[in-house]
Amino acid sequence: MQTGIVGLPQVGKTTLFRILTRTKVDEKSARGATHVGVARVPEPRIDQLAELYHPKKVTYATVEYVDVAGLVSDRARNSAALAPLREVDALTHVLRVFDDPAVPHAAGSVDALRDAESLDLELMLSDLEQIERRLERLAKDLKKKKEPAIEHEQTMLLRCKEAIEAERPLRELEFTSEERKMLTGFMFLSLRPMLYVLNLGDNEVGELDTAVARHGLEKLSGRPQSAVVPVCGRIEAELSELDEAAGTELLAAYGLKQPGLHRLIQATYELLGLISFFTAGEPEVRAWTIRRGTTAVKAAGVIHTDIERNFIRAEVVRCEDLLAAGSWPAAREKGQVRLEGKEYVVQEGDVILFRHAG
């Protein structure tokens, strides 16, 4: 899973990237550069399972982030800058709210809604160009020969075009699974789920809950396939450089419940429809990422195709039950370990032991 971090120049994209991936990025070389890094999905249950099993290895789930150069209002330059985004599963748009005379604002003033809408428009225009080219092609083909598959595609693309002309990003439309298949080849940008990150000034750290309304962004929240998360980038950057004890102290001093990093990754997870399940044993305690609705046999395939192929059954226990029971046999004794077949739909927080042949 890869998420692209986008936004105007100097809004805090690289700062956010550093927090998420804990990568050291040199400030000077960082300006305008593209970075790729992996963020560990924070997961307290993995730490608790590790205390139970004392495994040789602990592996967290990860999300990959790509920090691209700042986008400007120059179409030609942007279409090149947008190219790497075609590969990502979701977008994170950093919106600058913090005010700092030392850091000039690319658009001249702070207005997060304007910035959000202008990038969305950019994504939509790029999609529209592609749609129009394809529609021309399809019209030519249809003149030669009427084919139902081509007509389907045409109907769908006309619906996409209409939405964009009404300034609705494609992510807000509903598609059938057949249409989704047709869509994959296009890699439309406005189809990507969108996480808007409000990068607040340090002075707003006590008022995260009301930040969305305060900055006039209600219009963005509650839309399909998108979410808004406020963070104080600079404070979070400070936090991420501290060890755990000092970090907890600083969080408390600011009155924060958890690091923004956790909220961001959780929001990304939800947006992408992802959940975690765990495997636990002495060799390794590990979190795995799957889409919500994945069956046991497909989840096995995430670990290894051999396990999927030779799947016999899954032994499943809720993570909190396993932790409370203290061991797998103890949980089994309490009747908390279930035997499930191939079609079982894996739930968030299941600990699974896959039985397989060979």
Ligand X SMILES: Nc1nc2c(ncn2[C@@H]2O[C@H](COP(=O)(O)OP(=O)(O)OP(=O)(O)O)[C@@H](O)[C@H]2O)c(=O)[nH]1
Nearer to ligand X, 81 or 160 (CB): 81
98 binds, among ligand X, Mg ion, none (CB under 5 to 8 A by kind): ligand X
Residue 10 lies near ligand X (rule: CB under 6 A)? yes
CB of 111 to Mg ion, least distance (A): 21
CA distance 12 to 87: 22
Taking the complex as a whole, how short is the minimal distance between the CB of residue 13 and Mg ion, in angstroms? 5
Cβ(289)–Cβ(266) below 8 Å: no
Instruction: State the nearest-atom distance from the C-beta of 67 to Mg ion, in Å.
Output: 6
Does residue 103 touch ligand X according to CB under 6 A?
Answer: yes
Q: Tell me which residue of 287, 198, 202 sits closest to 239, measured CA to CA.
A: 202
Site string for ligand X, 204-243 (x = CB under 6 A): ----------------------------xxx---------
Instruction: Give whole-number Cα distances, 136 to 70, 154, 193, in Å.
Output: 33, 10, 28
All residues at 6 or more sequence positions from 14 whose CB lies less than 8 Å from its CB, including other chains: 25, 30, 33, 35, 67
* 14 binds Mg ion, rule: CB under 5 A: yes
Which of these segments, 5-13, 54-62, 124-132, 282-290, binds ligand X (CB under 6 A)?
A: 5-13
By C-beta, is 29 or 177 nearer to Mg ion? 29
Specify the residue, 235 or 300, whose C-beta has the smaller distance to ligand X.
235
Please state, in angstroms and rounded to a whole number, the distance separating the CA atoms of residues 135 and 138: 5
32 belongs to the binding site for ligand X (CB under 6 A): yes
CB of 66 to Mg ion, least distance (A): 11
Under the criterion CB under 6 A, does residue 84 sit at the interface with ligand X?
no
Identify the residue among 3, 4, 6, 14 touching ligand X (CB under 6 A): 14
Give CA torsion, residues 168, 171, 176, 180, to 10 deg: 120
Closest CA to 170 of 223, 115, 113, 228: 223
Q: Is residue 238 exposed (0-12), middle (13-18) or buried (19+ Cβ within 10 Å)?
A: middle
Token pair belonging to 197: 């990150």
> Where does this chain bind ligand X (CB under 6 A)?
7, 9-15, 30-32, 70, 98, 100, 103, 199, 201, 232-234
Residue ranges that bind Mg ion, judged by CB under 5 A: 13-14
